[in-house]
Amino acid sequence: MLTKEELKDIYEKRYTSVSQDHSAREIAQYRKYYKVLLNWDSSSCSDKHYLDLGCGLGAKTVGFNNGFNAVKAVDLSEKAIANCRNKFSEERIEWVAGDAMAVPGKYELITALGFSLFNTPDNQEFISNVGHIIRQNLTERGGVMIVGSFTDLSGSGDSWYMHSQNDLVEIQNRLETEHAVKVEVIFPHRRFSNYFSGGLLNLIAELRKLVLTRRRNFFIKIVHG
Ligand SMILES: C[S@@+](CC[C@H](N)C(=O)[O-])C[C@H]1O[C@@H](n2cnc3c(N)ncnc32)[C@H](O)[C@@H]1O
């Protein structure tokens, strides 16, 4: 397993050469996923606190920000955080360079998008890392945590991302058994709102993906009981 220093090193190098040209598209896509997954209206968000873990270049954080009372986004990479502060200076988001596993405080919404710091093919490790965040940071009674990734369900094991259907069932059952939470695995492409919550361009892009794409985005939605 990689240490945090090794991970930080990998991502600092990756963010040196990255372009952000696709950020507007990513923001729009995650605004839509926000509607598909939560759809809390902005008035109910104004008293909620949102924490994004492993925010990277921040477009997904911005997409999910629906007028929360406060938003904190944390990443190990100082380059990524400097980039977010510069690129999204108009947003009311606190960008923090540091370890997302050690953030103080409780939040009504927590996301880890692109599997972020939970990147691991090991279900046990994944479940214990997510459990740590549930205990440490998720508001009791109604707090929601969303972990997002993609897979073709092959479980081919050659990537952090290729979970099988059995992996997802194990993750769901064990999180529910070991914590006071309700867990749903959501594939947006199976939901009507995925096609009709983002305008005409979204509809065309989603219909195209339906035909051409094997790997699908999915989200593990964890609701504190
Ligand atoms: C696959 S990237 C995803 C970035 C972003 N969420 C996205 O989807 O565009 C994973 C991110 O998690 C960050 N990360 C990994 N472990 C972390 C940790 N312990 N604390 C904070 N960030 C971490 C990495 O620096 C990297 O930016």
In the chain, the domains with their CATH numbers are 36-71+98-224 (3.40.50.150)
Phi, psi of 138 (to 5 degrees): -85, 125
The CA-atom distances, in angstroms, between 146 and each of 65, 96, 126, 170, 216 are 13, 20, 14, 17, 16
- Rank 38-42, 122-126, 131-135 by mean pLDDT and report only the highest: 131-135
Atom number of ligand 1 nearest to Cα 8: 25
pLDDT (tens digit per residue) in 66-116: 999 999 999 999 999 999 999 999 999 999 999 999 999 999 999 999 877
Residue 128 CB partners (closer than 8 Å, separation 6+): none
* Residue 181, beta-bridge partner list: 224
180 or 21: whose pLDDT is higher?
180
Residues with CB under 6 A from ligand 1: 4, 7, 11, 54-57, 60, 74-77, 80, 99-101, 113-114, 116-117
Residue of the CA atom closest to atom 19 of ligand 1:
99
* Residue 35 scores a pLDDT above 90: yes
How many helices (H) and strands (E) the chain has is answered by: 9, 7
Q: How confident is the model at residue 200 (pLDDT cuts 50, 70, 90)?
A: very high
- Rounded to the nearest angstrom, the distance between the alpha carbon of 101 and the centre of ligand 1 is 11
Nearest-angstrom CA–CA distance, 27 and 25:
5
Asked if residue 152 lies in contact with residue 216, where contact means CB atoms within 8 angstroms, the answer is yes
The CA-atom distances, in angstroms, between 114 and each of 9, 42, 53, 67, 205 are 18, 24, 10, 22, 20
Strands 49-53 and 70-75: parallel
* Residue 161 scores a pLDDT above 80: no
Q: What pLDDT is attached to residue 17?
A: 77
94 or 42: whose pLDDT is higher?
94
Atom number of ligand 1 nearest to Cα 112: 6
Amino acid sitting at position 168: L
